[in-house]
A and B are shown apart, each in its own frame.
Chain A
Amino acid sequence: MNCKRVVFFLIIVLGLSGSGLLARAQSGTPSGEGMNSTPAAGTPENGEGGEKKGINITEIVFGHVADSHEWHLFSISHEAEGQGETAIALPLPVLVYEPGVGFDAFMSNNFEEWKKAPDGTKISNSYEGYHLEMKMKEKLVADNGAAVYDLSITKNVLSMLIGVFLLLWAMSKVAKAYKATGSTKAPSGFQNFIEVVVVFIRDEVALPNLGKKSVKYMPLLLTVFFFIWINNLLGLLPGGANFTGNIAVTACLALVTFIVMMAGSTKHFWSHLLNPPDVPVLVKALLVLIEIMSLLIKPVALMIRLFANMLAGHIVILSVICMIFIFGMLNRFVGWGFVPVSLAFSVFMFMLELLVAAIQAFVFTNLTAVFIGQSIEEGHGDAHAHDAKHAH
């Protein structure tokens, strides 16, 4: 499934690059003027010189799925006055640490002037010795080329913080409800909803994979599930950030899983991994190599799966919406005519993504439990299996 998703994602990316080129080639023709004011109309772009505006779909899509130092909401077109666009965006704090220089903090709206380098990279003005460079992603760069650590509260970080506060607020309310009603009363309302999920995670995810030790790992599994789920859902809101479709995020979650796996790993697990029983020496060498690789691939698979799924979902929805504008560039009426089709598609995709948001959170949690379960196995089960084999 994962592999399929990645291939799908690549096809989409290539297709979008193609359509972007197409859009660029068509930039000579008059574009659908009224449509540039919609939220889908992309990142701020300066009307440079005599260049006429088209829609760069690649830029729009990746502008939406990539992280950003500001929370862009929409742009207002001033084409009638010949002044390009004004981007309406929420400025966010930029925090940067440069070794030898120290911390620096300022707001992102200090980067307001953008110009295009010959290779297509957009470069902002310099502020306090730093500027932003943007190809597919925005990157904070020191003017003198020194290495910097960008710890800015970006759009994704802010989105995550909102998600985290929602989660803390909701869960503390639920916990309070439990304390208030005690164990003798039936849950009601939101508490009931959360209870269903908690019981599902416990009975379907933790107990089958972790057995008696599941109590110890339940808080982690629940946190992983709800953290991913709420952020998936927040990412689906219009104007939301593509937080869980960012590889840094999934890498972080996978790292946590890996650390927990390693922290709980048993002697039995390592002895089976490094010295598999009843195997000839040559095969053993190969097997150990493969086992170590598979151990490392586990968190990587977790990372890629969530990242690719969420990213692909976002890209598909954006592409479907962008189709309106692609057709609008060919002919305004075709563009309007395509609106219902596109909307139907995107509504369908939204429904699918709602499902995927929960499914991916579940899959991540479930695989976390499976991987932890493998590494904390005590070997009693195996011993029995061996006995059974000898008995036959």
Chain B
Amino acid sequence: MDLLTPELGLFFWTLIAFLAVFFILRKFAWGPILNTLGEREKGIADSIASAEKVRDEMTKLKSDNEKTMAEAREARTLMLKEAKELKDKIVNEAKEAAKVEANKIIIEAQQQIQQQKMAAMTEVKNEIGKLAVEVAEKILRKQLSENEGRDAYAKLLAENIKLN
């Protein structure tokens, strides 16, 4: 059929025009367009990847922070506990020391009191003895001054010596 026979002229011009369009567009249009598209896609992919990375880092940082916080809290609790223990110990020791000291003082005081008492007693005894001797001397002096008394007494003394 007439319609199915290709015309040479049209074929020729189409070939030339198509090839020209192909080479021109490849150099000036498709190249830049495809490159830019590729770059943009790469850029987007990179951005997403880096965002992901940052997010991961953030998560890590956050967990690190939490861990540090927890550790700090634990350390604080431990320190408080230690401090309290130390305080109790010191207080107890102080109490203990005070008690010992007090006891010592009390004992010393008692000893001193006892000593003083003894000394006082001795003095009182001496004084009483002296007084009794003086009284006896006076009585004797008076009795001896009388005859009867003097003889009786001499007898008594003599008896005592005999007995000895």
Do A182 and B36 touch across chains, with their CB atoms under 8 A apart? yes
Tell yes or no: A73 within 8 A of B by CB: no
- Write the chain A residue with the least CB distance to B7: A248
- B1-30: CB near A (< 8 Å → 1, else 0) gives 111111111111111011111101110111
Do A160 and B13 touch across chains, with their CB atoms under 8 A apart? yes
| CB neighbors of A among B52-87 (8 A) | none
Q: Which residues of A contact B9 (CB under 8 A)?
A: 95, 149-152, 154, 157
Tell yes or no: A223 within 8 A of B by CB: yes
Do A150 and B8 touch across chains, with their CB atoms under 8 A apart? yes
Do B10 and A183 touch across chains, with their CB atoms under 8 A apart? no
Tell yes or no: A62 within 8 A of B by CB: yes
Tell yes or no: B39 within 8 A of A by CB: yes
Interface of A is mostly: helix
Tell yes or no: A222 within 8 A of B by CB: yes
Q: Which residues of B contact A218 (CB under 8 A)?
A: 30, 34
- Write the chain B residue with the least CB distance to A160: B17
Do B7 and A252 touch across chains, with their CB atoms under 8 A apart? no
Q: Which residues of B contact A62 (CB under 8 A)?
A: 3
Do B40 and A167 touch across chains, with their CB atoms under 8 A apart? no
- B22-52: CB near A (< 8 Å → 1, else 0) gives 1011101111111011011001000000000
A252-B31 contact in complex given A149-B8, A220-B22, C-beta closer than 8 Å: no
Interface centre among B33, B34, B36, B39 (most CB of A within 10 A): B33
Tell yes or no: A70 within 8 A of B by CB: no
Q: Which residues of A contact B29 (CB under 8 A)?
A: 171-172, 174-175
Q: How far is the CA of A184 from the CA of B11 in the complex (A)?
A: 43
Q: How far is the CA of A315 from the CA of B73 in the complex (A)?
A: 88
Question: How many contacts A-B (CB < 8 Å)?
Answer: 130
| CB neighbors of B among A199-254 (8 A) | 199, 202, 215, 218-220, 222-223, 226-227, 246-249, 251-253
- Write the chain B residue with the least CB distance to A253: B18
Chain B interface residue bracket vs A: 35 or more
Chain A interface residue bracket vs B: 35 or more
Do B25 and A171 touch across chains, with their CB atoms under 8 A apart? yes
Q: Which residues of A contact B1 (CB under 8 A)?
A: 136
A219-B25 contact in complex given A161-B17, A252-B11, C-beta closer than 8 Å: yes
Q: How far is the CA of A195 from the CA of B32 in the complex (A)?
A: 12
Checking B7, B30, B31 against A67 with a beta-carbon cut-off of 8 angstroms, the contacting residue is B7
Q: Which residues of A contact B34 (CB under 8 A)?
A: 198, 202, 215, 218-219
Do A164 and B11 touch across chains, with their CB atoms under 8 A apart? no
Q: Which residues of B contact A137 (CB under 8 A)?
A: 2-3, 5, 7
Do B11 and A248 touch across chains, with their CB atoms under 8 A apart? yes
- Write the chain B residue with the least CB distance to A173: B29
Checking A151, A154, A202, A223 against B18 with a beta-carbon cut-off of 8 angstroms, the contacting residue is A223
Tell yes or no: A272 within 8 A of B by CB: no
Q: Which residues of A contact B18 (CB under 8 A)?
A: 223, 227, 252-253, 256
- Write the chain A residue with the least CB distance to B11: A248
Q: How far is the CA of A251 from the CA of B11 in the complex (A)?
A: 8
Q: Which residues of A contact B37 (CB under 8 A)?
A: 183, 195, 198-199, 202
Chain A interface residues toward B at CB < 8 A: 62, 65-67, 95, 135-137, 149-154, 156-157, 160-161, 164, 167-168, 171-172, 174-175, 178-179, 182-184, 194-195, 198-199, 202, 215, 218-220, 222-223, 226-227, 246-249, 251-253, 255-256, 311
Chain B interface residues toward A at CB < 8 A: 1-15, 17-22, 24-26, 28-34, 36-37, 39-40, 43
23 CB contacts below 8 A, A to B, read A67-B7, A136-B1, A137-B7, A150-B9, A151-B12, A151-B13, A154-B9, A160-B13, A161-B17, A164-B17, A168-B21, A171-B30, A183-B36, A184-B40, A184-B43, A194-B33, A198-B34, A198-B37, A218-B30, A219-B26, A219-B31, A223-B26, A223-B30
A135-B2, A137-B5 given; 6 more Cβ-contact pairs under 8 Å: A67-B7, A136-B3, A157-B14, A160-B17, A223-B30, A252-B15
